[in-house]
Amino acid sequence: MSHEQYKILSKRFGRRDAHKLAVYEAEGGYAALRKALQQGREKVIEEVKEAGLRGRGGAGFPTGVKWGFVPKDAETVYFMVNADESEPGTFKDRFLMDYDPHLVLEGSIISSYAVRASLCVIYIRGEFGWLIDRMQAAVDEAYAKGYLGKDILGSGYDLQVIVHKGAGAYICGEETGLINSVTGRKGQPSIKPPFPAVQGFLDKPTVVNNVESVAAVPHIVTNGAAEYRKFGTEKSAGTKLFSVSGPVRNPGVHEIPLGLPFKEFFHDWLGGMADGEKLKAVIVGGSSVPVLTADEAMGIDLDYESCGAAGTMLGSGGMIIIPERCDMVELIQVLMHFYWDESCGQCTPCREGTGWLHKLVRKLRRGEGTAEDLALIEKVCEGMAGLTICPLSDAAVMPMRSFLQKFRSEFEALVAGEDQDGPQTRWAREYRS
């Protein structure tokens, strides 16, 4: 099948034995680490820069460039792997850690080596309890085999790895929030400057990369930048894991070449909608990006630039397929509840605004909303966007604004008093406290 050729990160998905070190080694595992240690860190950074790997957590920042921000004379450097995957719709990092923990680990070790980190913290969200066990087992195996610890493979490079368990906070997926969490504080993001690459964990240079980003590093080291660039576009190089949810025939994690047209992805990979379902809208990259109508989605390619041009973002690659039967106001209420739950509470616009938006949408759904409330929603969004320490505020505003803008008639219907779905009344009134 032509899709097989793209399985670089996901080639071991679904297997029951691939998490074992012996299996991983037998299939070429840790050869990349050996090569990296031989090549030297400058070459590794250069290769990753050349490859054009971009951060796969959602921000899309060039990974090699981020590595380059670490001051060359830094005595202590930290590397952290962001496995806090909590963006609604996103479940790809989980698959990587589940089926290929050693790939993630090897990539982490090489990345740590590249930035001269002495400690690598793999921060896994607390809800992934079984994955934490899995990663810890892989780490233990790696230590025993000499891929971790002192003088790795005789290179003189020392690296300690800690598998750190989160405890239920989406905001720890923000890199400074993650760092503060590891420090033993609440996972609240820090103001910048200072920037983590210069002054992060314990005031030392710290680089934070997403699980999928580090998982791509062994392939780049082994096969080179040009090989990596075989797939993808000029500015969006390589493959990306898309975790797809919603009533399509083939939901789940798909590894695609960036630049793949959504239309093709939808029909050939996802098999189109399941029986009896019709496409209404698409959230392309996790709930925090603007929603696209079905028509808009059909017109985009799945890469950073094309999504940006279409007024949305590639984000985390957490794709949510919304069928015709869904009430968009009900869905936005679900999302506004999420951001209200997850706001860390530091910045006033986000802390108060997420609560306000949630209450306004709930008010609409209870049939108590007015036309002024629709204008008020936009006003609240304006008081939140671009005014805070971290982008959670914007992450709430982007879906809110885009849902309101593109499906306005559904909001207006509620104002006019046509309760579109009777049984929802109790739900809206009592469930969404």
Partner 1 sequence: MAQEQTMVTVKIDGQELQFPAGTLLFDACREARGEALPHFCYHPDLPVAGVCRLCQVEVEGMPKLTIACNTTVRDGMVVHTRSERVRKASQQILEMHLINHPVDCPICDQAGECGLQDQYMNYGLYESEVEKRDKVHKAKAQVIGPHVILDKERCVLCSRCVRFCDTVTGTSELGIFQRGDRAEIGIAPGKELSNAYSLNTVDICPVGALTSRDFRFKKRVWLLKSTRTVCHGCATGCSVRVDHEGDRIYRLKPELNREVNGPWMCDQGRLTYRSVHSEKRLAAPLLRRDGGQVEVPWAEALAAVKEAGAPGAWIASPQQTLEELALFAALAGDAPRSGGVSTAGRGEGDAILIDADKTPNRAALDWTGLPQHDAGALIGLIKGTKGAVLVYGGDPAAEAEGFLAAVGGRPLIYLGTHRNATSEAAAVVLPVSAWAERDGLLVNRQGRVQASRRAVARPEQAREDWRLLADWLRESGAEDAPAGLPALRRWVAERVPAVSGLDLNALPAAGAVPAGAASGAGGER
Partner 2 sequence: MSTPLNDGKTFALEGEDRTRFDALLAQYPTKRSAVMPALWIIQDRHGHVSDAAVTWLAGELELSEAKIREVLSFYFMYRETPQAEHVLQVCHNISCHIMGARTVLTHLEKKLGVRLGETTADGKFALEGVECLGACGMGPCMQVGKHLYEHLTPEKCDAVLESMRKGEPLRPDTDRELEA
Taking CB under 8 A as the rule, does residue 252 contact partner 2? yes
In whole angstroms, the minimum distance from the beta carbon of 251 to partner 1 comes to: 31
Q: Shortest gap between Cβ of 234 and partner 1 (angstroms)?
A: 24
244 binds partner 2 (CB under 8 A): yes
Using CB under 8 A as the binding rule, the residues of this chain from 24 to 83 that contact partner 2 are: none
Least separation in angstroms between CB 375 and partner 2 = 25
Residue 370: φ, ψ to 5°: -125, 170
168 binds partner 2 (CB under 8 A): yes
**Binding footprint of partner 2, residue count (CB under 8 A):** 68
Which partner from the list partner 2, partner 1, none does 389 bind, CB cut-off 5 to 8 Å by kind? partner 1
Segment holding 328, helix H or strand E: helix 328-342
Least Å from the CB of residue 184 to partner 1: 13
Q: How far apart are CA 172 and CA 149, in angstroms?
A: 27
Cα Rg for the chain, rounded, in angstroms? Answer: 22
User: Could you tell me the two tokens for 283?
Assistant: 């959230």
Binding segment toward partner 2, per CB under 8 A, in 66-74, 121-129, 145-153, 403-411: 121-129
Instruction: State which residue, 31 or 387, has the beta carbon closest to partner 1.
Output: 387
By the rule CB under 8 A, 173 interacts with partner 2: no
173 vs 287: CA distance, rounded Å: 14
> Rounded to the nearest 10 degrees, how much is the dihedral formed by the CA atoms of 214, 240, 66, 388?
-110
Calculate the alpha carbon distances from 261 to 3, 16, 247, 266, 306 in Å.
14, 32, 20, 9, 10
Give the residues lining the site for partner 1 (CB under 8 A).
169, 171, 186, 191, 193, 340-349, 351-356, 359, 363, 372, 376, 379, 382-384, 386-389
Burial of 150 (0-12, 13-18, 19+ CB in 10 A): exposed
Instruction: Compute the distance between CA of residue 174 and CA of residue 390 in angstroms, rounded to an integer.
Output: 8
Residues 332-391 that bind partner 2 (CB under 8 A): 334-335, 337-338, 341-342, 344
Confirm or reject binding of residue 128 to partner 2 (CB under 8 A). Answer: yes
**Beta carbon nearer to partner 1, 169 or 220:** 169
Q: Which residues pair with 153 in a beta bridge?
A: none
Determine if 265 is a binding residue for partner 2 (CB under 8 A).
Answer: no
CB distance 170 to 396 below 8 Å: no
Helix (H) or strand (E) holding 161: strand 160-165
Cβ atoms 314, 307 nearer than 8 A: yes
Region from 23-31, 241-249, 255-263, 360-368 binding partner 2, contact rule CB under 8 A: 241-249
Pick from 119, 142, 225, 361: which binds partner 2 (CB under 8 A)? Answer: 119
